[in-house]
Copies of this chain bind each other. A is one copy, B any other.
Amino acid sequence: MRSSLFTTQTTSDGVIEHDFSIGDVPGVLWAPPAPPAGTPLLLLGHGGGLHKRSPGLVGRARDAVLRDGFIVAAIDAPGHGDRPRNAQDRRWVDEMLADRAAGRSMAATITAYNASLAERAVPEWQATIDALTALPEIGPDAPIGFSGMTLASAIGMPLVVADRRITAAIFGGVFVYDALIAAARRITIPIEFLLPWDDPEISRASGIGLFDAFASEDKTLHAFPGSHFTVPVDRIDTRFFARQLIR
Q: Which residues of B contact A13 (CB under 8 A)?
A: none
In the bound complex, do residue B235 and residue A236 qualify as a contact, i.e. CB atoms below 8 Å apart? no
In the bound complex, do residue A225 and residue B236 qualify as a contact, i.e. CB atoms below 8 Å apart? no
**A200-221 at interface with B (beta carbon < 8 Å):** 211, 217-221
In the bound complex, do residue B238 and residue A221 qualify as a contact, i.e. CB atoms below 8 Å apart? no
- Judged by DSSP, the binding face of A is mixed
Q: Which residues of B contact A224 (CB under 8 A)?
A: 219-221
Is A164 an interface position by the 8 A CB rule? no
How far, in angstroms, from A217 to B225 measured CA to CA in the complex? Answer: 8
A219, A234, A235: residue with the most chain B Cβ atoms closer than 10 Å? A235
Q: How far is the CB of A119 from chain B (nearest CB, A)?
A: 31
In the bound complex, do residue B238 and residue A220 qualify as a contact, i.e. CB atoms below 8 Å apart? no
Q: Which residues of B contact A178 (CB under 8 A)?
A: none
Residue in B closest to A226 when the chains form the complex, CB atoms: B217
**Pick from B197, B218, B222, B243: contact of A222, CB under 8 Å:** B222
How far, in angstroms, from A224 to B5 measured CA to CA in the complex? Answer: 41
Is A154 an interface position by the 8 A CB rule? no
**Pick from B218, B223, B234: contact of A221, CB under 8 Å:** B223
**Number of chain A residues whose Cβ lies closer than 8 Å to a Cβ of chain B:** 20
Using known A-B contacts A237-B238, A238-B237, A238-B238, determine if residue A225 contacts B219 with beta carbons closer than 8 Å: yes
In the bound complex, do residue A236 and residue B234 qualify as a contact, i.e. CB atoms below 8 Å apart? no
Residue in B closest to A237 when the chains form the complex, CB atoms: B238
Is A232 an interface position by the 8 A CB rule? yes
In the bound complex, do residue A234 and residue B223 qualify as a contact, i.e. CB atoms below 8 Å apart? no
In the bound complex, do residue A223 and residue B223 qualify as a contact, i.e. CB atoms below 8 Å apart? yes
In the bound complex, do residue B234 and residue A243 qualify as a contact, i.e. CB atoms below 8 Å apart? yes
In the bound complex, do residue B243 and residue A220 qualify as a contact, i.e. CB atoms below 8 Å apart? no
Residue in B closest to A235 when the chains form the complex, CB atoms: B220
**Pick from B220, B235, B237, B243: contact of A223, CB under 8 Å:** B220
How far, in angstroms, from A83 to B155 measured CA to CA in the complex? Answer: 57
Q: How far is the CB of A129 from chain B (nearest CB, A)?
A: 26
Residue in B closest to A216 when the chains form the complex, CB atoms: B225
Q: Which residues of B contact A225 (CB under 8 A)?
A: 217, 219
